[in-house]
Amino acid sequence: MSISEKTIKQMQKDIRDIKRQLVRRQRNETARTKSTSKLRTSRSRSAGERADEILRAAGLLNEPTIKEKELIAQWQAVPLEERKRLVEEFRALKLDKPLSQIVIENRR
C-alpha cells in the first residue's frame, strides 16, 4: 500500500496547522496565567488602586500636568475655611440657564 504524494502533502499541511494551533493555545494559556497572577497580586491592593491601574491601562487616567499641579498648589495654599466658603458659594450659585443648555450653546 503506497501513499500518494498528494496525501503526504496534505498530511504535512495538517501537521503544520496542528502545530500552529498548539502554539496559539500555549500563548493563550501563558497570557491567561499572567493575567491570573496579576489579579492575585492586585487583590492585596485597595479597590481604588486597582481602579486607578485599570483606568491608566485604558488611557483614561493620567498624571497631572505641571500647570494642574500649580493650580492644585494654589488651591491648597488657600486657608481651609476660605476653601469651604468658596465651595459653598459655587454650590449655591444659580445659573440663568441649565448647565446642559450652556454646554449646547458653547458647542455651536
pLDDT (tens digit per residue) in 59-99: 888 888 999 999 999 999 999 999 999 999 999 988 788 88
Please tell me the distance from the alpha carbon of residue 107 to that of residue 100, in angstroms, as a whole number. Answer: 11
Work out how many domains the chain is built from and give that number: 2
Q: What is the residue range of 68's domain?
A: 64-108
How many other CB atoms are found less than 10 A from the CB of residue 34?
Answer: 10
Same domain, 94 and 71: yes
**Residue 42 · residue 53 · CB < 8 Å:** yes
**Residue 56 and residue 75 in one domain:** no
Domain identity same for 5 and 45: yes
- Read off the pLDDT of each residue in 6-17 and give the average, rounded to a whole number: 87
CA distance 20 to 17: 5
- 74 and 53 inside one domain: no
pLDDT of residue 39 exceeding 80:
no
Residues 42 and 75 grouped into a single domain: no
Do 42 and 79 lie in one domain? The reply is no
Cα 1 to Cα 4, 38, 59: the distances in Å are: 10, 55, 63
Examine the domain organization and report whether 36 and 89 are in the same domain.
no
| 19 and 41 assigned to the same domain | yes
